[in-house]
Amino acid sequence: MFVHAAANLVQLNGKPMPDFNTLIPKDPLVFQVAWESTLKCNLDCSYCGDGHDNKSSHPLLSNCLDTVDFIFKYLDIKMKQRPLHMQQSNLNVQGGESLFHPKIIDILRYINKKKADVDWHLGTATITNAVVGANLWKRLAQYLDYYTISYHPESTTKQQQLVKDNILFLKSINKTFHVSIMMHPKHWDNCVSMVDWCKENNIECNARQIDHHWLDMRFNYNKEQTTYLTGKEITAKDKLMYALSKGLNLSSTGRACCGGNTLCAGGCETNYVQDNKFKGWHCSVADYFLYIRQTTGEVFTNKDCRMNYDGNVGPIGNLKDPKTIFSKMHNNGVVCKKSSCWCGLCAPKAATKELFINATKEDLNHSIE
């Protein structure tokens, strides 16, 4: 039997799990489409990296609607490869700041119109900074099912109050949402205050560490901030090891899998995979993810790992030539060439082709609970 010793799983009680050779989600996964619909943003946060480009223009409405057509055709193919109870998908319209697009209402309205013509389910979500005028925010609610709201302390006081007002509106109409607070070490008190505000208003939130290169010291946390984020005292040695190995990722629990959903590995269950190394494994990432960059036209199976149908790292094609993309599509899995999994982590995968076929069958045979 193949044993993959490099993948170290941690159980909920923190004890090491045995080595394993397959990894599948405990519950059926929804197919996730991430559409980077624009790079333009109404904020300009210093830690954003390549997540926005305010010198660019918003993509044309006609091009965006063509992309929606592409997404629905792509999903229709993928959904027909699944049993009825797994024909579930989610479209996350993101940016930049997608709600900053001047034609966002037209785009979302078109998506919802097309949803009525398919026989599989599509949820519509967005990742937003929620710096949106009250009137537009209320109009958007009829078209969006789920919101991930990121709170940015580099915004103005007026903008921060607008975000709070918009959050309370979503709560008042029973919308599903989550607040992610960007914990800026130079605006620490502001961030902690937002965490406290969420708790006081019974709003689900998480204090998110700012991702950055380990040589970029602007966003390093001090001892007190580190303790706040991890819930425990971190020694100087611990902090050095985090900085060298993870770019000062101070998480005490490892890397969250599939939004914290439970995974099955070697007959065990886990919520975290720390050393997520699957190079050479067979993976079904293409059957669970799609990522589209509107500004370049590039289409990938996954935003981070970018493994394509040819078994290479790169796009599966371009929006200018959708026919070529459709001609390459298959559901036979790909062999991972990456040194670590970024980030089709929860897609069923196995160390050998034979085990992968069995894992895929097991995943598709999930019963409806």
The domain segmentation of the chain, as residue ranges, is: 1-27+261-283+336-369, 30-234+284-335
Neighbour tally for 101: CB within 10 Å: 22
For 312-330, the pLDDT digits (tens) are 999 999 999 999 999 999 9
> What average pLDDT does this structure show over 261-282?
75
Phi/psi of residue 84, nearest 5 degrees: -55, -40
Only one residue has tokens 């494994």, namely 281
How much is the pTM? 0.88
Domain 30-234+284-335: state its class: alpha beta
* Residue 307 contacts residue 316 (beta carbons within 8 Å): no
Average pLDDT, the chain: 86
CA gyration radius, the chain? 21
The pLDDT of residue 144 is 98
Query: What are the start-end ranges of the H helices in 116-203?
Result: 134-140, 157-172, 188-200
| Angstrom distance (rounded) from CA 177 to CA 145 | 9
pLDDT value of position 366: 60
**Mean pLDDT calculated for residue range 213-241:** 77
User: Is a pLDDT exceeding 90 seen at residue 261?
Assistant: no
pLDDT band at 248 (very low <50, low <70, confident <90, very high): very low
Give pLDDT tens digits for 157-213. 999 999 999 999 999 999 999 999 999 999 999 999 999 999 999 999 999 988 776
Please indicate whether residue 63 or residue 211 has the higher confidence score (pLDDT).
63
pLDDT for 33 equals 98
